[in-house]
A = this chain, B = another copy of it.
Amino acid sequence: MSDTRPKVQPYTASTKDFGSGKASPRDFLERCLAKVDAREDDVLAFAATNFSAARAAADASSARWRDGCPLSPIDGMPVGVKDVIETADMPTGMGSPLYDGWCPGYDSASVHALREAGAVIVGKTVTTEFAASEPGPTRNPWDVARTPGGSSSGSAAGVAAGFFSAALGTQVIGSILRPSSYCGVIGYKPTFGSINRGGSHDYMSQSSQGVIAASLEDCWHCAWEISQRCGGDPGYGGIEGPSALPKSPGPKSVIVLETSGWAEATEEAKDNFQAVVEDLRRAGICIVTRKDNSDVDAAEVAVLDAMPVSRLINAWESRWPLNTYRDHDASKLSKAMLDRSYEAEAMSLDDYRKAIARRAEIRTKYAGLSAHGDCCITLAASAAAPEGLRSTGSALFAVTSSVLGAPSLSLPVMQESKLPLGLQVIGFDNRDAAAFAAAHAILSHMDAARAIRA
A-side residues, CB < 8 A to B, are: 88, 105-109, 112-113, 116, 196, 198-199, 203-205, 207, 227-228, 230-231, 234-235, 237-238, 316-317, 319-321, 323-325, 327-328, 348-349, 352-353, 356
Contact = CB atoms under 8 A, between A and B. Distances in A.
A349 B205 contact: no
Contacts of A237: 349, 352-353, 356
Given A106-B328, A198-B321, 13 more contacts: A105-B328, A106-B325, A109-B320, A116-B323, A196-B320, A199-B321, A230-B320, A231-B316, A231-B319, A231-B349, A237-B353, A238-B349, A238-B353
A203 to B, nearest CB: 6
B321 A109 contact: yes
A323 B230 CA distance: 10
Nearest to A196: B320
Contacts of A107: 324, 327
A98 to B, nearest CB: 9
A353 B316 CA distance: 31
Nearest to A198: B320
A112 B198 contact: no
A324 B104 CA distance: 11
A108 B327 CA distance: 12
A78 to B, nearest CB: 21
B230 A112 contact: no
A317 B234 contact: yes
A320 B205 contact: no
Contacts of A325: 106
Contacts of A227: 349
Contacts of A113: 320
A431 to B, nearest CB: 16
Given A105-B328, A109-B321, A199-B321, A204 B234 contact: yes
Contacts of A328: 88, 105-106
Given A237-B352, A319-B230, A198 B205 contact: no
A335 B325 CA distance: 37
A328 B320 CA distance: 29
Contacts of A352: 231, 237
B356 A324 contact: no
A228 B88 CA distance: 36
Contacts of A234: 203-205, 207, 317
Contacts of A207: 234
B324 A205 contact: no
9 contacts: A106-B321, A107-B327, A112-B323, A198-B321, A199-B324, A230-B319, A231-B317, A231-B349, A237-B356
A349 B241 CA distance: 12
Contacts of A324: 88, 106-107, 112, 199
A353 B88 CA distance: 29
A352 B327 CA distance: 40
A63 to B, nearest CB: 20
